[in-house]
Structure 1
Amino acid sequence: MGYVTNSAILPVLMGKGCLIISDSLNHNSIVNGARGSGATIRVFQHNIPSHLEEVLREQIADGQPRTHRPWKKIIVIVEGIYSMEGELCKLPEIIAVCKKYKSVWEKGKERGFHFTCSWIFAKEVLRVDTADVDIMMGTFTKSFGSCGGYIAGSEEVIKYLKYTCPAHLYGTSISPPAAQQIISSIRVILGDDGSNRGAQKLAKIRENSNFFRSELQKMGFEVLGDNDSPVMPIMLYNPAKIPAFSRECLKHNVAVVTVAFPATPLLLARARICISASHSREDLVKALQVISKVGDLVGIKYFPAEPLKQHQDGKAVKFD
């Protein structure tokens, strides 16, 4: 799923005398890669650019521990969409902070300041210039329907990684069918297949996501995340509600993914809904009906529900 993309490349990019500034809710692959690099790690509060600036200013002023020498490299790492929160990264604001503190890749110099971002989806949604992100990571699972992950960056960076990254040097090459699946998916997304299917799918996933999120909120569920995000965590909180919610949904032929400790804090258990462009409106309405019934049964509707539901195609949508 691209786990090794982060965990194997960070130790190649960073090392002793370097500083990694990481969002507090970054994926475990980033956490393990940072720990394995030997670099100093500092964490800023999740998706709060003002706290990132505080950490960045303090670390630049103090320098390395004990010696207070300037850092060899500083790298800020965030995600585009936080997979357990469903939130879009505040990418424009974070990039503005990085630029304020001379966020540039200096060719031929060891000391530089770098910025990385995983998940290109948020870059497209937030209209961020790719030139403002030094290194981009993404997964070929999920929407691509294949396996593995990728790193995008300057020619110098990619060439360096090809010659030094153990995951590239010693790992087995991706299989031809998986590679062709990725190529075909990219062609569809870009419209190189001669159709507008890619644009239609991108529009459809946003439409589906926003419809599903708004209906869940109207029912009284606590749903995390932002509009346009296809990841929707429904908060369960009590660990005892996890098997009850999952099993009751399955009784009605709806399979849900529940997430608990250690992937989340002990008392912040949730069900993670991931919306696809392939979901029809009938699929979504059926799932909403089941989730609503189970939510009443298990007792996870933490807000008052709206009495009237959204109208679709001239007919009232009723979930009971």
Structure 2
Amino acid sequence: MFRLKLRDELGIIKRNGLYRFLRKKDRNILDFSSNDYLCLSKHPEVIEAVKEGLKYGLGSTGSRLTSGNINHEILEERLADFKETERALVYPTGYSTNVGVISSLCKKGDLILSDRLNHASIIDGCRLSRADVEVYEHCNIESLVDILEKKGRRYNNIFIVTDGVFSMDGDIAPLRDIKKVAEEYNGVVIVDDAHGTGVLGGGRGTLKHFNIKPSDNIIQIGTLSKAFGGLGGFVCGIEEVVEYLINTSRSFIYSTALPPPVVSGVLRSLELIEEGYLTKMLQENIRSTNRIFKRYNLIKEDNLTPIYPIILGKRTMEISEYLIKNGIFAPGIRYPSVPKGLERIRVSINVEHREEDFERLCNLLNKFGQTNNSIST
């Protein structure tokens, strides 16, 4: 019976055009899907650092509170300096960081205000907390203030949670305004800077981009799996936040720690990011992409981040398959990752892309549109 039930539900998913499957990526294909913005996952110096880290063994063999605390504190000290905060704490994944931080700090009797387009890991962290959750309109300060005016005064603590750079749209949260609102209502800002770290602010992230100095009421979350090219997540903030999470955050306490070789590799990634040249290269590629995409009418305004959503609607998956057959890997993004009607190809650029790569993508999209009359809904 259980098998039949699952088959029926899978059939519904397929009929709704939402069926997903795993696909192996051809190494020779031109990749516009990766979050490896600085191409550090395969940087020779990072690979060598990983090899050096094997002296500790393949795995950490336990949680951080048992046998798994090996070279992790070295990375945490470096991340705290990098983010200009008192302390940092490393988690096994970015997902577990958001879930663990939010569900630990936010409690029954508290209020969380969450941007409508926040990442799924933020949403799940909010659900696991016992706090009340209100969703404000995307990057809309008036919507945020309106909720606070109506409901904010009755809660013990207020948390405003937002992505720094939004993963599906590439736009940037208005952190200056959010910080002002948090100060006015005595709230705490939690920023998931997964797609901002290594990209904005000379690599230091969205706060640095806005010249916002870290303070007691700002908690920064990041990942080591995107611009760093590795695996893991981290949280940065005041001493008391980190100490509290070590003692209460279930996804930290009950997870096996990151493998030491990964920690060693990420440490070298951090050093390369701090040197600054990779971030400058990425920004140069963003400027090139802006120029070329504007010429092909794919964007109207310049991007500041390497994420370009090309909204294609119901034909997204067809166009994605067309690109793959022609040597470009740009998977379609559809519901529930994005709202219905806003299906898209999420073009993600990196430091190794060249102008001819952007031209090739644009020409293929143009060719598909000419052959099929239109690439829009």
TM-score, length basis structure 2: 0.68
Counterpart of 1:155, as a letter, is: E
Q: Are 2:310 and 1:218 aligned?
A: no
Partner of 1:281: 355
Partner of 1:307: none
Partner of 1:78: 162
Partner of 2:106: 14
Q: Are 2:175 and 1:91 aligned?
A: yes
Partner of 2:152: 60
Q: Are 2:323 and 1:231 aligned?
A: no
Fraction of identical pairs, as percent: 28
CA deviations on 1:153-212 (whole Å, 9 max, x unpaired) are 111110110111111111011011211121011111112xxxxxxx22112212212322
Higher relative contact order by CA 8 Å / sep ≥ 6: 1 or 2? Answer: 2
Question: Which of 244, 264, 272 is residue 180 of structure 1 equivalent to?
Answer: 264
Question: Which of 203, 219, 239 is residue 155 of structure 1 equivalent to?
Answer: 239
CA distance 1:226–1:282, shift in 2 (3 Å): closer
Q: Give the match's secondary structure for 2:339.
A: coil
CA distance 1:281–1:173, shift in 2 (3 Å): same
Q: Report if the CA contact (8 A) 1:137-1:152 is conserved.
A: yes
Partner of 1:317: none
Q: Are 2:209 and 1:117 aligned?
A: no
Counterpart of 1:85, as a letter, is: D
Q: Report if the CA contact (8 A) 1:140-1:146 is conserved.
A: yes
Partner of 1:247: 321
Rounded to whole Å, the distance in 2 between the matches of 1:152 and 1:81 is: 17
Corresponding residue pairs, total: 274
Q: Report if the CA contact (8 A) 2:307-2:349 is conserved.
A: yes
TM-score, length basis structure 1: 0.80
Rounded to whole Å, the distance in 2 between the matches of 1:294 and 1:132 is: 52
CA distance 1:185–1:74, shift in 2 (3 Å): same
Rounded to whole Å, the distance in 1 between the matches of 2:320 and 2:303 is: 25
Q: CA deviation at 1:29?
A: 0.6
Q: Report if the CA contact (8 A) 2:216-2:238 is conserved.
A: no
CA deviations on 1:44-75 (whole Å, 9 max, x unpaired) are 110011221111122224x1xxxxxxx22110
Rounded to whole Å, the distance in 1 between the matches of 2:330 and 2:300 is: 16
Counterpart of 1:243, as a letter, is: M
Partner of 1:30: 122
RMSD of equivalent CA atoms: 2.0
Counterpart of 1:188, as a letter, is: L
Rounded to whole Å, the distance in 2 between the matches of 1:132 and 1:300 is: 51
CA distance 1:267–1:299, shift in 2 (3 Å): farther
CA deviations on 1:16-41 (whole Å, 9 max, x unpaired) are 11110111111111111101101101
Rounded to whole Å, the distance in 2 between the matches of 1:5 and 1:174 is: 13
Q: CA deviation at 1:224?
A: 8.5
Q: Report if the CA contact (8 A) 1:24-1:46 is conserved.
A: yes
Q: Report if the CA contact (8 A) 1:9-1:161 is conserved.
A: yes
Q: Give the match's secondary structure for 1:264.
A: coil
Q: Displaced runs of 4+ in structure 1, greater than 6 A?
A: none
Partner of 1:296: 370
Tell which deviates more after alignment, 37-46 or 203-212: 203-212
Q: Report if the CA contact (8 A) 1:225-1:233 is conserved.
A: no
Question: Which of 278, 286, 289 is residue 209 of structure 1 equivalent to?
Answer: 286
Q: CA deviation at 1:127?
A: 2.4
Rounded to whole Å, the distance in 1 between the matches of 2:221 and 2:133 is: 19
Rounded to whole Å, the distance in 2 between the matches of 1:226 and 1:49 is: 22
Counterpart of 1:171, as a letter, is: S
Partner of 1:39: 131
